[in-house]
A and B are shown apart, each in its own frame.
Chain A
Amino acid sequence: EAGVAQSPRYKIIEKRQSVAFWCNPISGHATLYWYQQILGQGPKLLIQFQNNGVVDDSQLPKDRFSAERLKGVDSTLKIQPAKLEDSAVYLCASSLVGGAADEQFFGPGTRLTVL
């Protein structure tokens, strides 16, 4: 079974530029998550999708971050414009149904450096 795929793996941009990340979850998984992990911290949930609907985006900085999950499968996360403090690893995860007991499977992440 293929795992969660993410691209690109690494990205370096200048502040105020825009960037987009892509995620393909495990086949059949209804729930998709985007996390931000700053060095030395645990992952922080940015947005959670159930199929193609948003369940939770309370910690998504909506003035600069946006995300979509078209057709309930792949997802993209965009940052525009980027700030220095956005430097982090962006992790995509998926789970079968999104219940409280569901295991979340993580992709390899995208390491973003904002200069």
Chain B
Amino acid sequence: QKEVEQNSGPLSVPEGAIASLNCTYSDRGSQSFFWYRQYSGKSPELIMFIYSNGDKEDGRFTAQLNKASQYVSLLIRDSQPSDSATYLCAVNMEYGNKLVFGAGTILRVKS
């Protein structure tokens, strides 16, 4: 079992729709969770982080965390073509206190 799993996609959504990106993790003791966006040929940039169960909203982005199910998701409302990128889920593992990344989900927003 991979430590952090994401569907590789590509996930295609029309402009203006909601994009839903999912991530599961193996370490039940993990406490902090991050979503990074990576444009092709560029380095990752942080979009959101979440520590507590429930939802956290920031503009068009909402992160959702369910520690019991070891599941974290990212919703992007009113998707724009500029949102087309790879979205990386990263989990700070309790053991070793290090960030482990998933392989990423490719999102394509079609205008």
> Which A residues fall within an 8 A CB radius of B?
40-45, 48, 56, 58, 91, 98-101, 103-109
Is the CB of B62 closer than 8 A to any CB of chain A? no
> In the complex, what's the smallest C-beta–C-beta distance from B57 to chain A, in angstroms?
18
Collect the chain B residues with CB atoms within 8 Å of residue A108's CB.
Answer: 42-43
CB distance from A51 to the nearest CB of B (A): 16
Let me know if B46 and A43 touch, CB within 8 A. Answer: no
Shortest CB distance B33–A (Å): 10
Could you tell me if B45 and A106 are in contact, using CB atoms closer than 8 angstroms? yes
Asked whether B88 lies within 8 Å of A42 as measured between CB atoms, the reply is yes
Q: 1/0 per residue B41-61: CB within 8 Å of A?
A: 011111001010000000000
CB distance from B97 to the nearest CB of A (A): 6
- What is the CB-to-nearest-CB distance from A57 to chain B, in angstroms, rounded to a whole number? 11
Contact for B96 among A56, A99, A103, A107, CB less than 8 A: A56
Between A and B, 10 residue pairs with Cβ closer than 8 Å are A42-B4, A42-B88, A45-B98, A45-B99, A45-B100, A100-B32, A100-B92, A101-B32, A101-B51, A103-B46
Among B34, B88, B96, B101, the residue within 8 A (CB) of A58 is B96
CB <8 Å contact, A42 and B101: yes
**A85: shortest Cβ distance to chain B, in Å?**
17
Encode B75-111 as 1/0 by CB contact (under 8 A) with A: 0000000000000101010001111111110000000
Task: Find chain B residues with CB under 8 A from A48 CB.
Answer: 98
Q: Which of B4, B34, B96, B99 has the most CB of A within 10 A?
A: B99
A104 lies within 8 A of B43 (CB): no
- Nearest CB on B from A107, distance (A): 6
Question: With A42-B104, A109-B43 in contact, do A104 and B99 touch (Cβ < 8 Å)?
Answer: yes
Compute how far the CA of A100 lies from the CA of B32 in the bound complex, rounded to whole angstroms: 7
CA distance A107 to B8 in the complex (A): 24
Chain A hits for B46, CB < 8 A: 103-105
